[in-house]
Amino acid sequence: MSTAWCVLGVIVGTLYAVPFSWGSDQDVLRPRVPEDQIEAARAVRNPLPVTPEMIEKGNGLFHGKAFCMTCHGRDGKGLGGDIDRSTFQGPLPRDFTDRDWQATRTDGELMWILKNGSPGTAMAPFIPLILTEEEAWQVLRYVRSFGQP
């Protein structure tokens, strides 16, 4: 009987550990902002209120003018569904539905990426060529909505 309990304990322990190991790739959680600028970026806050109107404006930009869905997908899951993975080299676009990523990255870091691009990835700067700062903040309000339960 003790062997059966031991085997059961190993199985249950493994089942609890698997979601944590599959949840977020540690590279996904690595900051893209250079180390000498990370604290300043993290201190920046989104000045726009969290309202249905702001989120809807961000939705329109994400799926339209900013063409974010081209790489991040209509559902925000990166290349999880409706995109051809073979078109990318290097790290894949972020999965905005990843709650670990949502909890780790600040709005200021994401704004820094929209202004400067993401080093080592295909993410180019979007401000001011594509979006105004206000539009970028609206997109970030929408991006944050992907992490909501």
Is 15 inside a domain boundary? no
Q: What pLDDT score was predicted for residue 117?
A: 95
**Which CATH number belongs to the domain containing residue 107 in this structure?**
1.10.760.10
Q: What pLDDT score was predicted for residue 2?
A: 46
Is 68 inside a domain boundary? yes
How many domains does the structure of the chain reveal?
1
Is 3 inside a domain boundary? no
Is 22 inside a domain boundary? no
Q: What pLDDT score was predicted for residue 36?
A: 96
Q: Kindly state the greatest CA–CA separation across the chain.
A: 68
Which residues of the chain register pLDDT less than 70?
A: 1-27, 80-90
Half-sphere exposure of 75 (CA within 13 A, CB side): 8
Q: What pLDDT score was predicted for residue 80?
A: 55
Q: What pLDDT score was predicted for residue 4?
A: 39
Q: What pLDDT score was predicted for residue 34?
A: 93
69 to 58, 79, 92, 96: CA distances (angstroms): 12, 10, 13, 11
Q: What pLDDT score was predicted for residue 91?
A: 75
